[in-house]
């Protein structure tokens, strides 16, 4: 919980495949991937690139490893300071 009168962060810095990226607070990880130019978050079993499709957690195409947890839906995951995202693309 924040202290009364404390301001919320206006931006956060995360790492995507080892690269630092600063995005506005409240940005989803999928949107951060797009801002970074990484529209592909994973490959399917045949090696074809996959990325966010529905943007609301239904299609499961936006999965990536977030803070060491595999298969996280990046469209439903908000960015936070020092978040580590690893894609397999």
Q: What is the pLDDT of residues 10-42, one digit of tens each?
A: 999 999 999 999 999 999 999 999 999 988 888
Burial of 30 (0-12, 13-18, 19+ CB in 10 A): buried
The residues with which 72 forms a beta bridge, in sequence order, are 64
What does pTM read for this prediction?
Answer: 0.85
pLDDT in tens, 2-11: 566 656 679 9
In angstroms, the Cα distances linking 42 to 20, 25, 45 are 19, 24, 10
Give percent of the chain with pLDDT exceeding 70: 90
Query: In the chain, how many H helices and how many E strands?
Result: 1, 7
Q: Under CATH, what is the fold of the domain 13-86? A: Ubiquitin-like (UB roll) (3.10.20)
Whole-number Å distance between alpha carbons of 37 and 70: 21
Q: Give domain limits for the chain.
A: 13-86
């Amino acid at each position: 919980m924040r202290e009364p009168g404390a301001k919320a962060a206006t931006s956060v810095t995360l790492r995507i495949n080892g690269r630092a990226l600063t995005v506005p607070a409240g940005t989803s990880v999928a949107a951060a991937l797009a801002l970074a130019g990484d529209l592909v978050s994973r490959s399917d079993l045949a090696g074809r690139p996959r990325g966010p499709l529905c943007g609301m957690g239904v299609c499961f195409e936006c999965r990536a490893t977030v803070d060491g947890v595999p298969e996280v839906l990046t469209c439903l995951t908000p960015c936070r300071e020092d978040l580590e995202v690893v894609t397999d693309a």
